[in-house]
Amino acid sequence: MSNRRVELGRVAGVFGVQGWLKIHSYTDPLANILKYRPWILVDAGGERLIEQPRGKVQGKGIVVQLPGIDDRDAAQALIGACIWVDRDTLPKPKAGEVYWNDLEGMQVVNAAGVDFGVVSHLFSTPANDVLVAKGERERLIPWLPGVYVLNVDVEARRIEVDWDETF
């Protein structure tokens, strides 16, 4: 396994009394979190490798049962734990697509060549996704390819944006 990891979700709560956990999935669709294995569960107590999480869609969310977690108290102790997978376990992105985590650390410049720093992270809003570039200051740039995001050069680790330097 590589050292690069991707966070796919977190433990959001407990479900029932038999150790099932409610999962907040960052994947799209939400149920895709169940496809990627093994999980690396990280909490204040450290990390544990979960080879075979057993899960299902429950209502509008995801619930899982992990080996060795068979009661509500054990499940409750995992609330807030993050679910990671090794980056190499994810499928290759389709042409024209890129994983958000692959954008992190890329240089961001505008069409005039002004350096905005590097991609810190991205986040979703109801309107659109947002790229956060940190340089001499932080800039929030709507992730709208063809509108504000002009070019993503994965090989050169560079993103060109149509964004005014005063914003």
Q: Taking the domain 5-88, which CATH number applies?
A: 2.40.30.60
pLDDT for the residue 94: 87
100-161: CATH, from 2.30.30.240, 3.40.250.10, 2.60.40.10, 3.30.70.260: 2.30.30.240
Domain boundaries, the chain: 5-88, 100-161
Across the 167 residues of the chain, what is the mean pLDDT of every consecutive 10-residue run? 80 95 93 94 93 91 94 95 93 86 95 96 93 97 96 95 93
* 3-state helix/strand/coil string of the chain: CCCCEEEEEEEEEEECCCCEEEEEECCCCHHHHHCCCCEEEEECCEEEEECCCEEEEECCEEEEECCCCCCHHHHHCCCCCEEEEEHHHCCCCCCCCCCHHHHCCCEEEECCCCEEEEEEEEEECCCCEEEEEECCCEEEEECCECCCEEEEECCCCEEEECCCCCC
Where do runs of H (alpha helix) occur along the chain?
Answer: 72-76, 100-103
- Would strands 39-43 and 115-124 be described as parallel, antiparallel, or unpaired? unpaired
pLDDT for the residue 1: 40
